[in-house]
Amino acid sequence: MPSSSTDDSPRSDRDSAFTATALPHLSTIARVATALTGDAADTEDLVQETFLRAYRHWHTFQPGSDCKSWLATICRHTFAELRRRENRSVAVDDQELESLAAARVHSTARAKGVDDMFARLDLGPAIAKAIRALEPHYRDVVLLVDVDGFSYEEVASSLEIPVGTVRSRLYRARRHLQEALLDFAIDAGYASPSYTLPPNHPGERRNA
Amino acid sequence: MPDRAECEAVVRQLWPFIDGVVSETQREFIVDHLEQCEPCNSHFDFARAFLEAVHEARPHFHVGQGLNERVMAALAGAGYRA
Ligand SMILES: [Zn+2]
């Protein structure tokens, strides 16, 4: 909202030009925004942001040129930017959900009596098999980070993907692996809530 | 015993914490929490044991002899002498 107390002549010119030239395209831009977002609430946000930016950058508008196209361009750029921002926050949230999933796998493992499976069993062959079964995107990242010990950044630059993508894939891969190993331990007959492992028998195999 | 909301906030950072990519403030907060909260601590221990097992599976991923020979042959062709 322009403040009336600071109204001076240039400000008024700008406001009246904006009112006469930009605002009449509001409905058109709303249709552009609807086409982009496909969602009523998002459309309103996008239209609002588009006109705010247009107003702030009004000095870059060439008088006499096509204002509708100029606004539509701002609208598209704004949409792309908002979407990028949204994807980023979704990605971060996704990573946190993978962390929660890891805790859930642990709870299941405990309920099934296999929460000490990493100490108790030689899971090497099962881990290798589970990693090979991953989709290549996941497999490569988990091999490089968890097996070979590269940093997120090193993997990001060698695979030419963003660090956030490395993390998302890595955490997802870990979840798949944990679930596969849990299934393996249960299927192999180690699961038994009532079964208590004799002490000092870490490699003991016992089938149900 | 810390409350559930705090536990959830801590567990959400499980992988980043274990990988050492959280901020110093977050790290201290999580360390404090884990000292007082056995359930969370056990989740983190389980995750660490998992990662250790994955790392120890490394010998299962040696490149095939075939690839090794191919690379060496190519290097030799380029003038490399072992
Ligand atoms: Zn806790």
Q: Is residue A188 over pLDDT 50?
A: yes
For residues A31 and A36, give the distance between their C-alpha atoms in angstroms, rounded to a whole number: 9
Please tell me the total count of domains within chain A. Answer: 2
Residue ending a domain, choose from A30, A62, A86: A86
* pLDDT for A201: 31
Query: Are A101 and A173 within one domain?
Result: yes
Chain B closest CA to A125's CA: distance in Å? Answer: 7
ipTM of this complex prediction, to 2 decimal places: 0.81
* pLDDT for A47: 85
Residue ending a domain, choose from A86, A109, A135: A86
In chain B, where are the structural domains located?
A: 4-77
Query: Are A82 and A96 within one domain?
Result: no
For residues A124 and B52, give the distance between their C-alpha atoms in angstroms, rounded to a whole number: 11
- Hey, is the C-beta of B15 within 8 angstroms of any chain A C-beta? yes
Of A103, A123, A124, the CB nearest to B43: A103
Average pLDDT, chain B: 86
Chain B closest CA to A81's CA: distance in Å? Answer: 26
**Local confidence band at A12 (pLDDT 50, 70, 90 cut-offs):** confident
Give the domain extent around A170.
92-187
Residue ending a domain, choose from A43, A61, A86: A86
Half-sphere exposure of A54 (CA within 13 A, CB side): 27
Q: Is the pTM of this model over 0.80?
A: no
Residue segments in chain B with a per-residue pLDDT below the cut of 50: none
Contact B58 A102 (CB under 8 A): no
Give the pLDDT confidence of A128-177 residue by residue, as tens digits.
Answer: 999 999 998 898 899 989 988 889 999 888 888 889 999 999 999 999 99
Give the pLDDT confidence of A92-124 residue by residue, as tens digits.
Answer: 778 889 999 999 999 999 999 999 999 888 899
DSSP secondary-structure letter at A202?
T
* pLDDT for A194: 45
Scanning chain B, the segments in alpha helix (DSSP H) are: 4-12, 14-18, 24-36, 38-56, 65-77
A38 phi, psi to nearest 5 deg: 70, 20
Chain A closest CA to B7's CA: distance in Å? Answer: 10
* pLDDT for A1: 44
Q: Is residue A24 over pLDDT 50?
A: yes
* pLDDT for A95: 86
- Hey, is the C-beta of B19 within 8 angstroms of any chain A C-beta? yes
Q: Which residues of A make CB contacts under 8 Å with B?
A: 95-100, 102-103, 105-107, 109-110, 115, 118-119, 123-125, 127-128, 131, 142-143, 146-149, 152, 167, 170-171, 174, 177-178, 181
**Rounded distance from Cα B36 to ligand 1 centre (Å):** 8
- Cα dist. A28→A20, A22, A33, A38 in Å? 15, 11, 9, 15
**Local confidence band at A207 (pLDDT 50, 70, 90 cut-offs):** very low
Provide the CATH number for the domain around residue A59.
1.10.1740.10
CB A155 within 8 A of CB B27: no
**Local confidence band at A187 (pLDDT 50, 70, 90 cut-offs):** confident
**Rounded distance from Cα B9 to ligand 1 centre (Å):** 9
Q: Is residue A191 over pLDDT 80?
A: no
Query: Are A66 and A147 within one domain?
Result: no
For residues B57 and B51, give the distance between their C-alpha atoms in angstroms, rounded to a whole number: 10
Scanning chain A, the segments in alpha helix (DSSP H) are: 9-21, 26-37, 40-56, 67-111, 117-120, 124-133, 136-142, 152-159, 163-187
Provide the CATH number for the domain around residue A179.
1.10.10.10
Structural element, H or E, at residue A5? none
